[in-house]
Structure 1
Amino acid sequence: MANVQEPKGFLRVDGMDVVDGDGSKVILKGCATGGQTNMENFITGFPGHEHEVRRALLEVLGQEKYDYFFEKFLEYFFTRSDAKFLRSLGLNCARIPINHRHFMDDLNPGVIKPEGFRFVDRIVDACAAEGIYTIIDMHTFPGGQNQGWHSDSGIHRALFWEHRDLQDRAINMWVEIAKYYRNHKWVAGYNPMNEPADPDHTNLQEFYARVEKAIRSVDPDHILWLDGNTYSMDFSGFKDILPNCVYAIHDYSNMGFPAGNRYTGTDEQKQILRKQYERKVEFMRKHKVPIWNGEFGPVYASPDQPEHQQINQERYNLLGEQLRIYKADQISWSIWLYKDIGFQGMVYASPSSPYMRLLAPFLEKKKRLGVDKWGRDDTRVKHIYEPLIQHLKEEIPEQFQRRRYPQHWGLEGHVHRVVRELLVSELLTYEFASYFEGKSMEELDALAGSFRFEECGRREGLNEILMKDAGL
Structure 2
Amino acid sequence: MYGQKSSAKAKEKDFIAVKGQDLIKPDGTKLLIKGTNLGNWLNPEGYMLKFSKTNSGRFINDMFCEMVGPDFTAEFWKAFKDNYITRKDIQFIKSTGSNTVRLPFHYKLFTNEDYMGLTSAQDGFARVDSVVKWCKEAGMFLILDMHDAPGGQTGDNIDDSYGYPWLFESATSQKLFCDIWRKIAAYYKNEPTILGYELINEPIAPYFKNMSELNAKLETIHKMAVAAIRKVDKNHIILLGGAQWNGNFKPFKDSKYDNKLMYTCHRYGGQPTKAAIQNLINFRDSVNLPMYMGEIGHNKDEWMSAFCKVMEENNIGWTFWPYKKMDGSSFVGITPPENWEQIVAFSEAPRASYKEIRDARPDQAVARKAMMDFIEACKFQNCVVQQSYIEALGLKAK
TM-score, with structure 1 as normaliser: 0.72
AA in 2 matched with 1:320: S
Aligned position for 2:6: none
Q: Does 1:188 align with 2:195?
A: yes
SS at match of 2:364: coil
Deviation of 1:106 after TM superposition, in Å, equals 5.2
AA in 1 matched with 2:160: D
Map 1:165-204 → 2, pairs under 5 A: 165-197=172-204, 199=211, 200=213, 201-204=215-218
Q: Is the 8 A contact 1:103 1:113 kept in 2?
A: no
AA in 1 matched with 2:144: I
Q: Is the 8 A contact 1:249 1:281 kept in 2?
A: no
Map 1:232-271 → 2, pairs under 5 A: 232-241=246-255, 242-254=258-270, 269=271
Aligned position for 1:358: 339
CA distance in 1, matches of 2:15, 2:352: 43
Of 341, 344, 347, 2:326 maps to 341
Assess, with a 3 A threshold, how the Cα gap between structure 1 residues 40 and 426 changes in structure 2: closer, same or farther: farther
Q: Is the 8 A contact 1:16 1:288 kept in 2?
A: yes
Q: Is the 8 A contact 2:385 2:397 kept in 1?
A: no
Q: Which runs of 5+ in 1 are unaligned?
A: 1-5, 255-268, 300-314, 370-422
CA distance in 2, matches of 1:107, 1:86: 31
Aligned residues: 373
Determine which structure has more spread, i.e. the larger CA radius of gyration: 1
Deviation of 1:103 after TM superposition, in Å, equals 1.7
Q: Is the 8 A contact 2:37 2:322 kept in 1?
A: yes
Of 47, 58, 76, 1:69 maps to 76
Q: Does 1:118 align with 2:112?
A: no
- CA offsets, 1:33-91, max 9 Å, x none? 00100110111233232112213323444444222211111111111111111111100
Aligned position for 2:7: none
Q: Does 1:292 align with 2:292?
A: yes
Q: Does 1:38 align with 2:19?
A: no
AA in 2 matched with 1:132: M
Aligned position for 1:457: 384
Aligned position for 2:136: 128
SS at match of 1:169: helix
AA in 1 matched with 2:329: Q
Aligned position for 2:220: 206
AA in 1 matched with 2:217: N
Of 96, 99, 110, 2:106 maps to 99
- CA offsets, 1:102-142, max 9 Å, x none? 2224589xx98651111222222222211111100000122
Deviation of 1:462 after TM superposition, in Å, equals 0.5
Assess, with a 3 A threshold, how the Cα gap between structure 1 residues 471 and 79 changes in structure 2: closer, same or farther: closer
Aligned position for 1:28: 33
Higher alpha-carbon deviation: 44-53 or 205-214: 44-53
Assess, with a 3 A threshold, how the Cα gap between structure 1 residues 99 and 433 changes in structure 2: closer, same or farther: farther
- CA offsets, 1:365-422, max 9 Å, x none? 98xx8xxxxxxxxxxxxxxxxxxxxxxxxxxxxxxxxxxxxxxxxxxxxxxxxxxxxx
AA in 2 matched with 1:98: F
Higher alpha-carbon deviation: 51-60 or 89-98: 51-60
Of 288, 297, 317, 2:302 maps to 317
Deviation of 1:19 after TM superposition, in Å, equals 0.7
AA in 1 matched with 2:194: V
AA in 1 matched with 2:157: W
Aligned position for 1:153: 161
Assess, with a 3 A threshold, how the Cα gap between structure 1 residues 125 and 249 changes in structure 2: closer, same or farther: same
Of 206, 210, 219, 2:233 maps to 219
Aligned position for 1:376: none
Q: Once the two structures are aligned, what percentage of the paired residues are identical?
A: 25
CA distance in 1, matches of 2:265, 2:81: 28
Q: Which has the higher helix share?
A: 1
AA in 1 matched with 2:260: N
AA in 2 matched with 1:214: A
Q: Is the 8 A contact 1:57 1:433 kept in 2?
A: no
Assess, with a 3 A threshold, how the Cα gap between structure 1 residues 112 and 363 changes in structure 2: closer, same or farther: closer
AA in 2 matched with 1:358: N
Deviation of 1:347 after TM superposition, in Å, equals 0.6
CA distance in 2, matches of 1:337, 1:127: 17
Deviation of 1:326 after TM superposition, in Å, equals 0.9
Assess, with a 3 A threshold, how the Cα gap between structure 1 residues 123 and 172 changes in structure 2: closer, same or farther: same
Of 226, 231, 236, 2:245 maps to 231
Assess, with a 3 A threshold, how the Cα gap between structure 1 residues 128 and 150 changes in structure 2: closer, same or farther: same
- CA offsets, 1:316-364, max 9 Å, x none? 111111101111023221111100001432111124xxxx322125548
Map 1:348-427 → 2, pairs under 5 A: 348-351=333-336, 356-361=337-342, 363=344
CA distance in 2, matches of 1:432, 1:20: 58
Assess, with a 3 A threshold, how the Cα gap between structure 1 residues 170 and 28 changes in structure 2: closer, same or farther: same
Q: Does 1:139 align with 2:153?
A: no
Aligned position for 1:381: none
CA distance in 2, matches of 1:426, 1:349: 30
Assess, with a 3 A threshold, how the Cα gap between structure 1 residues 107 and 471 changes in structure 2: closer, same or farther: closer
TM-score, with structure 2 as normaliser: 0.85
Aligned position for 1:417: none
CA distance in 1, matches of 2:232, 2:165: 28
Q: Which runs of 5+ in 2 are unaligned?
A: 1-9, 206-210
Deviation of 1:437 after TM superposition, in Å, equals 2.9
Q: Is the 8 A contact 1:136 1:191 kept in 2?
A: yes
Q: Is the 8 A contact 2:247 2:265 kept in 1?
A: yes
Q: Does 1:448 align with 2:372?
A: no
SS at match of 2:36: strand
Q: Is the 8 A contact 2:142 2:193 kept in 1?
A: yes
Q: Is the 8 A contact 2:144 2:198 kept in 1?
A: yes
